[in-house]
Structure 1
């Protein structure tokens, strides 16, 4: 199926081709016609499947067709991280370059001065791509209004609906008109998040290409048993053993301290490793990613900041040094490799203490992976005694607290109160 059969204008068909899309991916083929019809949509597909273009192409076309009057923000794209904001903004800008009518786009995120972003909003904008916190900052500075937004996109919607963003998202929804088109995209929609999302959508098109043959990324998943105290040694051993095969490796850890510590230990042993986390200045983070894409760093040791929206072409390996807190984050992490049809490798270190948590990750994601041991790094630790009687295995974060439930209920109430009455 070619792009021109989806109802896109010739300029956008050509833009898709210039961006490397010869034919639509499954998420694009299913989502683009529905969005062009003005329908709400909830779209789910694996990372690296072309979700950004799936909403960007029809969004650009609808805005071009409906342009009238003074320039006001008519499309708002919300994302959870600064890196994803930059990536989505760049993609939309590239796709819009050759449109017959110029659309003004502004990308806004925290960690950098707000003043240039406020200056760029002078005279209005057609599209704003932003993280929630910085968007609210701009609203409070009277740099933009959201009362003309006709299209709302939540990219990595599951993250935006979770407790970390619920309050900010609720405040943003109150500023939007009720009559709008809602487009929610993510690689994962856990049941609770799906219920919140569906409460905001009106007669939506549901696009889920997760289980379609040929859509899953080609990622080999390995699980290596190792004592927690020997993970850095094992990581170094694997890096040295495969130095001619793994030109770049993304390693996930649980904390900023771990990112610093592991990176320093590797660097002292001749491996070009660098930490990547939220306390690093935005300019430095951008430089690290740029240099990593150019293979100037061998290893990036990152917190889950890098699990969403980091698109690094031909990244061969992802390592879970620490297991992710949630089963859905496991999918987002390993999705940094095996992108755009490339083959990838995901390795998870599992100790006796984290075995129960990894079994939960397997269960929630429909996996059952064999355990491996590396000679010289065979584990000697035993699992700690289970003292939790609730049946959760004592896994931190599985059972929400009373405060968590109240915040989720508040977010749901805010979402329902801002459900659109009709689509444009």
Structure 2
């Protein structure tokens, strides 16, 4: 356990050194007006990396969770003991309406986002300025029909005794007539679907996103890997639907959860999210997020000094940061003298 904690300390220091500012943060002027402590938050509670312009306290118990009382009762009936590490950090951000990216070993568990999202959706006054149409406020995109069925059933189970959101499962094939004749349950606020089905719906129903406030990408790493073109179309439609003056007074939230950090997710954050709240509970994925690259150079002990000087002797148009780790204090002194005096 001590070795694992030490590794996380080193990883967090290295990530903070290499990537001190949040992705896609506000303008420099706005950031200047904020307190420096709010620019970035790295937490070490049981090995969690948090990167955001805001600092939120994790909910380490159900009493602290931003979840309605009815939902808490339903979760207790299902033997849910309390939020795990990833949920403890994700739930407050979702409950506050923040854009979220979460990478965790349990990134395929819908409970990572469903309880706080349902609680948010059960506040009708928040959506009072939305058009009164029978269209969803939230869409959950899943990587496959089996997962979509599972998520939709969980939504129905958890909302059985609270304000009914009428979650609907939308799965359509390639038949244009099937897509054209699709009809949602009256009062449907949540739709669960797959990338291919959603794109087919958007091709026939151009106003399908007109009330959309929450887009959830469940298994985002798998979604991009298996349906890249469809995800590009969905995100483009989401941007077009939400980036209009009429939507400034309504919630706009993009939630992406998965098991692995990928390059596509970096583009997702930069192009589609505003001040995202990034939560990563896996050290290897945190290193990928921070763009930490490892290059192994094998040499004899007597050649370390010359090899180090060779690696440091480079010219670059832009300044680059270099962080050197050693095994002991004596080596620190030696490396410092070598680097200072060549």
The reply to whether TM is greater than 0.5 is yes
The residue aligned with 2:328 is none
The structure with more strand, counted as a fraction of residues: 1
The residue aligned with 1:57 is 115
The residue aligned with 1:104 is 166
The reply to whether residue 151 of structure 1 matches residue 214 of structure 2 is yes
Change (3 A) 1:40 1:89: same
Q: 1:7-156 alignment to 2 at 5 Å?
A: 7-47=66-106, 51-66=109-124, 67-68=127-128, 69-99=132-162, 101-110=163-172, 115=178, 120-121=183-184, 123=186, 125-142=188-205, 145-156=208-219
Q: Distance in 2 between matches of 1:170 and 1:141?
A: 17
Give 1:175 shift: 2.5
Give 1:110 shift: 4.4
The structure with more helix, counted as a fraction of residues: 2
Q: TM-score, normalised by structure 2?
A: 0.55
Change (3 A) 1:80 1:132: same
Q: Distance in 1 between matches of 2:89 and 2:181?
A: 36
Change (3 A) 1:41 1:6: same
Q: Distance in 2 between matches of 1:157 and 1:38?
A: 19
Give 1:119 shift: 5.2
Q: Secondary structure at the match of 2:242?
A: coil
The reply to whether residue 208 of structure 1 matches residue 280 of structure 2 is yes
Give 1:70 shift: 4.4
Change (3 A) 1:124 1:134: farther
The answer as to whether partners of 2:144 and 2:194 remain within 8 angstroms in 1 is: yes
Q: Secondary structure at the match of 1:3?
A: coil
Change (3 A) 1:197 1:140: closer
Q: Which one of 246, 253, 262 corresponds to residue 181 of structure 1?
A: 253
Q: Distance in 2 between matches of 1:94 and 1:210?
A: 30
Q: Secondary structure at the match of 1:58?
A: helix
**Cα RMSD between the aligned structures?**
3.0
Which has the higher Rg, Structure 1 or Structure 2? 2
Q: Secondary structure at the match of 1:53?
A: helix
Give 1:53 shift: 1.1
Gaps of 5+ in 2: 1-59, 244-251, 285-293, 295-342
Between the two proteins, the alignment pairs up a number of residues equal to 211
The residue aligned with 2:264 is 193
Q: Deviations over 1:272-327 (max 9, x none)?
A: xxxxxxxxxxxxxxxxxxxxxxxxxxxxxxxxxxxxxxxxxxxxxxxxxxxxxxxx
Q: 1:298-317 alignment to 2 at 5 Å?
A: none
Give 1:211 shift: 4.2
Q: Deviations over 1:48-97 (max 9, x none)?
A: x6731121111111111035444431101111211111111111221111
The answer as to whether partners of 1:77 and 1:128 remain within 8 angstroms in 2 is: yes
Change (3 A) 1:186 1:117: farther
Q: Secondary structure at the match of 2:191?
A: strand
Higher alpha-carbon deviation: 59-68 or 7-16: 59-68
Q: Distance in 1 between matches of 2:75 and 2:195?
A: 28
Q: Distance in 1 between matches of 2:283 and 2:63?
A: 26
Give 1:138 shift: 2.5
Change (3 A) 1:15 1:144: farther
The answer as to whether partners of 2:134 and 2:184 remain within 8 angstroms in 1 is: no
The residue aligned with 1:167 is 229
Q: Distance in 2 between matches of 1:104 and 1:115?
A: 21
Give 1:40 shift: 0.6
Give 1:155 shift: 0.8
Change (3 A) 1:117 1:188: farther
Higher relative contact order (CA 8 A, sep 6+): 2
The residue aligned with 1:273 is none
Change (3 A) 1:112 1:94: farther
